[in-house]
């Protein structure tokens, strides 16, 4: 199966449709599938639902799709650093489903593993728990505690950013850029990955592979912008 495509537009050809559900990797500006997001913007696909930790910033990441009004709903943990995201949400133009970060990551992972739902203590007693099933379990200390049920995420498309891929789609991520990328990749019916380098099969030590190629359907290699979300420097002494 040929997985390598020449560019982002080619890799997304035939996969995009209005109203689709997309899982996207990234955390802040780290590990964002920027080339694929740019291709989605150019394609004009609209009414999109994104499951992603956040929406980047105003002019980078999913933020570029907010500027063009292509996003209908965000399933996210963090909405800071993006003035347009906040403006659209507060004005009622954008639907937002808040998820704690660990819950969102586990919802993606669960979907990728075929698990329809799971129970967690996170969010109990808050607005996160509104409308969700509650169930009491007895813990190892013999005491009963309340949990809420969260559903696994099944996306039409997953877009992720990795450091390296081999020709069969085995992936290695670089340090914290791994973040939400593996669970996002797992939960998509189709997964498209952008990487900095594609290497021959057999290059990777199998023990060093972070995500096996069975989850990956299409790959592109490209040049990526290295942005710093928050730059802090000390004053010159």
pLDDT tens digits along 32-48: 999 999 999 999 999 99
Q: How many CB atoms lie within 10 A of CB 53?
A: 23
**Over the stretch 193-225, which tens digit does the pLDDT of each residue have?**
999 999 999 999 999 999 999 999 999 999 998
Run of H or E residues at 169 = none
Dihedral over alpha carbons 193, 196, 200, 204 (to 10 degrees): -90
CATH superfamily of 8-107+152-221: Glutaconate Coenzyme A-transferase (3.40.1080.10)
Do 20 and 45 form a contact (C-beta atoms < 8 A)? Answer: yes
Average pLDDT over residues 165-174: 98
Q: How many CB atoms lie within 10 A of CB 93?
A: 13
Do 81 and 112 form a contact (C-beta atoms < 8 A)? Answer: no
Report the pLDDT value the prediction gives residue 42, as an integer from 0 to 100.
98
What residues are paired with 211 via a beta bridge? Answer: 171
Domains of the chain, by residue range, sit at 8-107+152-221, 117-151
Instruction: Give the β-pairing of 134-138 and 144-151.
Output: antiparallel
Q: State the chain's mean pLDDT as an integer.
A: 95
What tokens were used for 201? Answer: 């099969």
Do 160 and 33 form a contact (C-beta atoms < 8 A)? Answer: yes
Q: How far apart are CA 25 and CA 41, in angstroms?
A: 17
CA 69 to chain centre: 19
**Over the stretch 50-107, which tens digit does the pLDDT of each residue have?**
999 999 888 899 999 999 999 999 999 988 778 899 899 999 999 999 999 999 999 9
Three-class secondary structure of residue 206 per DSSP:
helix
pTM of structure: 0.93
Q: Rg for the chain (alpha carbons), in Å?
A: 19
């Amino acid at each position: 199966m040929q997985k390598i495509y020449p560019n982002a537009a080619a890799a997304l050809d035939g996969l995009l449709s209005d109203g689709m559900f997309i899982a996207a990797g990234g955390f802040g500006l780290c590990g964002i599938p920027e080339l694929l997001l740019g291709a989605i913007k150019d394609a004009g696909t609209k009414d999109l639902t994104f499951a992603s930790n956040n929406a980047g910033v105003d002019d980078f990441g999913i933020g570029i799709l907010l500027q063009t009004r292509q996003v209908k709903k965000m399933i996210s943990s963090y909405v800071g650093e993006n003035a347009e995201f906040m403006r659209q949400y507060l004005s009622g133009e954008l639907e937002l489903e808040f998820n704690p970060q660990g819950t969102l990551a586990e919802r993606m992972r669960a979907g990728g593993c075929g698990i329809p739902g799971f129970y967690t203590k996170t969010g109990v007693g808050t607005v996160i728990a509104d409308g969700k099933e509650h169930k009491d379990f007895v813990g190892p200390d013999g005491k009963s505690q309340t949990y809420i049920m969260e559903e696994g995420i099944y996306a039409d498309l997953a877009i992720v950013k990795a450091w390296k891929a081999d020709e069969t789609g085995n992936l290695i991520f670089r340090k914290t850029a791994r973040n939400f990328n593996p669970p996002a990749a797992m939960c998509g019916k189709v997964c498209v990955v952008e990487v900095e380098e594609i290497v021959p099969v057999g290059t990777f030590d199998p023990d060093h592979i972070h995500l096996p190629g069975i989850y990956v359907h299409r790959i592109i290699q490209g040049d990526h912008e290295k942005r710093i979300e928050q730059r802090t420097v000390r004053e010159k002494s």
